[in-house]
Amino acid sequence: MVFEKPNTEMGAVSSELARRLNENSRRLRIMEQKLDKLETSMDLLEENTLNQMNDMKIGLERISAKISAVGDKLAGIDNEILRITKEMGKTATKAEVRQLETFIDLVNPITSKFVTKDELERAFEDKIGRRA
């Protein structure tokens, strides 16, 4: 019986060690599963981030192209404004137009009274006849 007591203690210690070993193995498996899930999640995050970055890159390239097109159009508009400004320099000023209007009014046969040759001769003869 003396030997049974150490054997029972040894059995109890062995079974406690086995239980702890099983518990630790179970906890280790759980940790490995969680680590696998985290790695999978990280991989998905990296993939999604790369896809979003590619989409943003494509979007930025499109925006850049549109901005370049707008810049080209603005340059064309600037050139057209310069051309129009040069053409405007060649046109008559308000003062010149007023002078033309005045001249046209002077020689306009509808509004001006011109004397015919016959009327002038009669008026001349009338003047000479009155003096004589």
Half-sphere exposure of 21 (CA within 13 A, CB side): 6
- Nearest alpha-carbon partner for 93 in 82, 101, 103: 101
Task: Please tell me the predicted confidence (pLDDT) of residue 120.
Answer: 85
37 pLDDT higher than 80: yes
**Global pTM value:** 0.49
46 confidence band (pLDDT: 50, 70, 90): very high
The pLDDT tens digits of the residues spanning 17-31 come to: 999 999 999 999 999
* Residue type at 65 in one-letter notation: A
Alpha helices (runs of H) in 1-132, residue ranges in sequence order: 4-90, 94-107, 117-131
pLDDT higher at 132 or 16: 16
Contacts of residue 112, Cβ cutoff 8 Å, sequence gap at least 6: 105, 106
What's the rounded Cα separation, in Å, for the pair 122 and 132? Answer: 15
